[in-house]
């Protein structure tokens, strides 16, 4: 048996043993559009994972990880999804900020921030998008001024996932007055539990609120809490986005497979599969998911991968309502209770917008991958 298969067998056995007792009820809980489900219990589960060495498996051993290879990380995320384990609550700290600090942080930053991320004792959110600067990230206007021994931050972030549950936020802010676009930005680590920070949840189409507006009005963070040099924030921010679209997306695809299999089963039960158009679209969805997996394993360009999976998943949501039929247009119960298919349809509308809209991804692919002329800018 190869080391990867041994690793896969180990995590599969551990999950089978530990997703029991009080944790058994967490199977399938949480995830996009459902982050409100059993959050406190899922945080307890996250800390249980940490206590047994199953968080941050891809981090180097010297920072508390397992030093798992890419193949082993793929095995972990696939087995975790196959076990129907609950959605992780520490993804942003573990998969985004942690690797950023490992590669670009100072030794002092690593010593301060990596242990509580690994232990799931401090949760993080991502302060990138702003009103008027969503996918066009270089247009950020949140500013920070170094005053004495602290950065003083003023501005607004939006669509900040799980900010209402987080203790810290990594914030892209403009620290050089008069700078434009990619220059003069800094990547700051900012505590949220302080005067000068206001967090307002945004109610979504699903009726839930996992995104937030975050307002900074004279909020402060230590002068040493800048990752990379001041003014080098764009490079650090792009590094973080690269980690965001890494191997953990293979676990996401296992979740997609579960949704597709359930939809096929529903189409067979309710007779929708007798419609040749529905059968064709289900077949195309299966083929598309196979292409997604093949692309992830071979290392598809991150922008191309995001463009493809987001449209695939949005189309699956539309197909789900077609399979369900006219009754899917009515809430499952008053006042606004949704079933899983309705939630999938509504939340997947955002897939082509968040984490970089499809329009921006196409520009990136055209300009940076294919080398086509840049789009004219005003």
Write out the catalytic residue numbers: 244
Is the separation of the CB atoms in 242 and 70 below 8 Å? no
Q: Return d(Cα 241, Cα 249) in angstroms, integer.
A: 13
Q: Return d(Cα 224, Cα 311) in angstroms, integer.
A: 41
Cα-Cα-Cα-Cα torsion 70, 71, 77, 80, nearest 10 degrees, comes to -140
Nearest to 304 by CA among 358, 355, 257: 358
C-alpha separations of 21 from 16, 45, 46, 177, 221 in Å: 11, 12, 15, 56, 42
**Residue 277: alpha-carbon gap to chain centroid:** 33
Q: Return d(Cα 182, Cα 233) in angstroms, integer.
A: 8
Give the β-pairing of 150-157 and 211-222.
Answer: antiparallel
**Residue 77: alpha-carbon gap to chain centroid:** 14
DSSP 187-252: EEEEESSSTTEEEEEE--TTS---EEEEEEEEEEEETT-EESSTTBHHHHHHHHHHHHTSTTHHHH
Nearest to 350 by CA among 31, 33, 29: 33
List, in sequence order, every residue forming a beta bridge with 219; answer none if it has no partner: 153
C-alpha separations of 187 from 99, 130, 282 in Å: 14, 15, 43
Is the separation of the CB atoms in 299 and 245 below 8 Å? no
């Amino acid at each position: 048996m190869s080391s990867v298969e041994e690793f896969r067998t180990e995590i599969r056995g551990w999950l089978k043993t530990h997703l029991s007792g009080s944790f058994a009820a967490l199977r399938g809980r949480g995830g996009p559009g459902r982050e409100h489900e059993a959050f406190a219990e899922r945080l307890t589960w996250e800390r249980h994972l940490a206590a047994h060495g199953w968080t941050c498996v891809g981090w180097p051993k010297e920072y508390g990880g397992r030093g798992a290879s890419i193949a082993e990380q793929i095995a972990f995320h696939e087995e975790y999804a196959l076990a129907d384990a609950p959605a992780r609550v520490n993804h942003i700290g573990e998969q985004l900020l942690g690797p950023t600090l490992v590669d670009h942080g100072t030794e002092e930053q690593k010593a301060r921030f990596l242990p509580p991320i690994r232990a799931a004792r401090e949760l993080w959110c991502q302060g990138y998008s702003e009103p008027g600067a969503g996918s066009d990230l270089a247009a950020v206007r949140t500013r920070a001024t170094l005053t004495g021994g602290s950065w003083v931050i003023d501005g607004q972030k939006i669509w900040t996932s799980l900010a209402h549950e987080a203790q810290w936020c990594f914030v892209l802010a403009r620290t050089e007055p008069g700078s434009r676009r990619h220059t003069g930005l800094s990547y700051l680590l900012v505590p949220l539990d302080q005067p000068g920070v206001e967090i307002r949840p945004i109610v979504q189409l699903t009726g839930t609120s996992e995104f937030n507006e975050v307002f900074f009005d004279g909020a402060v963070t230590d002068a040493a809490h800048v990752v990379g040099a001041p003014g080098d924030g764009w490079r650090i921010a792009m590094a973080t986005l690269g980690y965001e679209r890494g191997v953990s997306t293979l676990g996401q695809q296992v979740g997609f497979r579960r949704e597709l299999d359930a939809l096929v089963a529903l189409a067979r039960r309710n007779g929708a599969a007798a419609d040749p158009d529905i059968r064709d679209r289900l077949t195309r969805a299966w083929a598309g998911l196979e292409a997604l997996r093949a692309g992830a394993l071979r290392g598809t360009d991150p922008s191309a991968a995001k463009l493809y999976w987001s449209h695939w998943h949005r189309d699956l949501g539309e197909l789900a309502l077609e399979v369900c039929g006219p009754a899917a247009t009515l809430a499952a119960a008053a006042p606004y209770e949704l079933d899983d298919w309705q939630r999938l349809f509504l939340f997947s509308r955002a897939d082509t917008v968040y984490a970089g809209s499809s329009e921006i991804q196409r520009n990136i692919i055209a300009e940076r991958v294919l080398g086509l002329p840049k789009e004219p800018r005003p």
